[in-house]
Amino acid sequence: MHAMPESPFKTAALIGRYQTAGVVTNLLAIAEYLIQRGLNVILEAETAEAIGRTDLSTADIDEIGRSADLAISLGGDGTMLGTARQLAPYDVPVLGINHGRMGFITDIPLDRCVEALGAVLSGAYTVERRTLLTSRVVRDDEVIWEELALNDVVVSRSSRAGMIELQVEVDGRYMYNQRADGLIVATPTGSTAYALSANGPILHPAVGGIVLVPVAPQALSNRPIVLPDDVSISIRVVEGREPRVASDMQGFSELQTGDDIIIQRSPFASHFLHPAGYSYYQTLRSKLNWHELPILRTPGT
């Protein structure tokens, strides 16, 4: 019998969307596999408590960031977003196993996770750097809210009535005032999320760009624009009912007229691990159905 090759990873952390049916069983099966491969396994503390397995080693995110050299996220894209965002300051690479619906950034299917994990633990993987954004709300010269975003920062109205008016500057230069339902500021990762549904362009993850996408703008000529990712974007709330800002749709802050939202590329980046052979284009084909040809119909059918 051939011995398993030594893994380049020593300690793996498991973070799961434990509210989802079936996750507990799969989490524990993955933990057992990792232990068999000789890794130290840590369960994220809230995950461990929720599934009732405090007998395994547990740690909070800060401890995971300091001690793990691999994080495995089991859940949907939302779980992966939260994991990657929290661990980016620690430079811990993240592997995403899809236990959700879309699975755009959690690219490993659950039924292939053992095969994929085996390849990664044997050193057959690629690392992909993903840009993050930092956003902060400034009110009366005071920062009242600050968050990281892997997908996007969205400034919008939370009321059903009326539009929001925003004034946008880039590196201190006036760009425009616009009335719309909102404005999406997205990374290349986020270009295939909310920004895409608002008719924004797809940016390859290796592109150094930030895309601004208006949501249902009053002026139909107001189109998405891609900016260099080293700029500083300032969005001022001019007018609007119950405006708010959201980071990855997971962190929210209520806004007031006159607030400034400052958005810049974060000094931190997230690192996604993919099994060897991963293709971003294959992900686009499978998730956006690019492989499906138009259906030709004969007249009258």
215: exposed, middle or buried (C-beta count within 10 Å: 0-12, 13-18, 19+)? buried
In contact, 110 and 26? CB cutoff 8 Å: yes
Reading the block at residue 30, the tokens are: 């993955």
How many residues comprise the chain? 301
- For 127-159, give one letter per residue: b (16+ CB within 10 A) or e: ebebbbbbbbbbeeeeeebebbbbbbbbbbbee
Active site residue 77: yes
Catalytic residue among 77, 107, 248, 259: 77
CB 159 within 8 A of CB 125: no
Gap between the Cα atoms of 188 and 192, Å rounded: 8
Catalytic machinery residues: 77
